[in-house]
Amino acid sequence: MRSDFGSAIAQIASEKGLNQEDVISALETAILSAYRKVTGDQVPNAVAYFDLASGESKIYVPKLVVEEVADPEAEVILSEAQAIDPEAEPGDEIEVEITPPNVGRIAAQAARQVLLQTLREKERDHVYDDFIDRVGEIVSGRVQRVDGRGVVLDFGRAEALMSSADMVPGERDRYRLGQRLRAYIAEVRKDLKGPVVRVSRAHKDFIRRLIEQEVPEVQSGTVEIKEIARDPGSRTKVAVAATQEGLDPVGSCVGMRGTRIQNVLRELGNEKVEIIEWSDDTATFIQNALSPAEVERVELVEIDGQQVASVLVDANMVSLAIGRDGQNTRLANRLTGWKINIRSTEEEDANDAPPEDAALSEKAAPAENAALAEDAAKAEDAAKAEDAASAEGAAGVESAVDVGSLAEADVSADAGVEGDEAEAASPPAAVAQPEPTDVPRAAGPQSNA
């Protein structure tokens, strides 16, 4: 009988992941609850004890030792107290046994549900105490099920939920039942149904723990991870700094031929991880954070209480600095804590034009526009004149001469030719009296007619 009790308690403790003391405590609580239910005696300060060696359980109530009893429920006479404890004196408090004779049968019948409930509560408390100290660590579990809430991982004595928000985009379809999966413990809290363990693979500190496991310098503290900015499943930037002089923090994290960082990438799948060097100088840190883009200059300003960094890059580096859908700049914002504005050198040159040149350009613009308009008008007039000459070609030499004379007169007037100089430039005799042999060449269509 005694060995049966011991074996049963040991088996329950092993199955529930509890200590034997926890199981015995649950059994004592169940016995006391059954006693109160069967006898109707509530006795708020009663206690139950179970002796593992003998397999017996007893119930006691503390009472005050007095010479004359006024309240039998709370006091015991000195003679009875000394029968229990020979050294008892008035004013002492001793425990008096009130165990009914059939407590074993009562416990077997009435205490079963209480015992199971108490064991469940202790098991939950044990799981909570175990995992609350592991928040921020990476654990490994097996995929138990995949449903609408997310993925449930089995850790043996406990289950953890990885919701859709904690998953890396695109990984859900790759999860299989029984698959071994590593995740970051993000939160542990108590719930009505027991402790809730929330794990994540999208948390930025998941990257931190992976690097710590692969890089001894990070574990020892000679290389410190200052900040992490992450777009889960796509890209991550990690800022590192060396606490030991002469140590290359980036090289330490990457490893020989990238062996260390490759182990991290293998766990993350297609996600890219960039290791950059952290700097006390904000401008230098922002410049490093925007890699692989090459930065020309960084200007730090404060606008409406917000820290803003105006970054100047070459024109062919603008798209690289901004990144696809603004990802590179967005990650640099999170990494540095500064709002970053990207400007090109071309834009800078345009904005840096001297105000005098701008004023001259503004004054010259109307004159230039007028000249362009005048040239366009002349071209239009010339085109009209050419069309008129073609239409009136059959009118004879006089029409051609008149048009030529008008054209030459306009040219002379525009050139500022007056008096005799104008006549020398256009002799009237040569125009007014052409030779008969020139007539067919001047009016081709008429000759053909």
Strands 180-191 and 235-242: unpaired
Do the domains 223-254+274-349 and 2-121 match in fold?
A: no
Q: In what order do the strands lie in the sheet with 235-242?
A: 223-231, 235-242, 272-277
pLDDT of the residue at 350? 62
Give long-range contacts, CB 8 A cutoff, 24+ apart: 150-158. 151/175, 151/181, 153/181, 153/183, 153/199, 155/197, 156/17, 157/17, 157/123, 157/126, 157/127, 157/130, 158/127, 158/130, 158/131, 158/195, 158/197
For the chain, the distance separating the N- and C-terminal CA atoms, rounded to the nearest angstrom, is: 144
User: Could you tell me the residue ranges of all domains in the chain?
Assistant: 2-121, 134-200, 223-254+274-349, 392-449
Structure tokens at 318: 């603008």
Nearest alpha carbon to residue 107 among 118, 94, 96: 118
- 265's tokens: 């990438």
CATH topology of domain 134-200: OB fold (Dihydrolipoamide Acetyltransferase, E2P) (2.40.50)
Structural contact between residues 185 and 134, judged by C-beta atoms closer than 8 angstroms: yes
pLDDT of residue 394: 36
Residue 167, both tokens: 């998953």
Q: What is the CATH number of domain 223-254+274-349?
A: 3.30.300.20
The fold of 2-121 is: N Utilization Substance Protein A; Chain:P; domain 4 (3.30.1480)
- Give the chain's residues under pLDDT 50: 1, 355-380, 383-384, 387-449
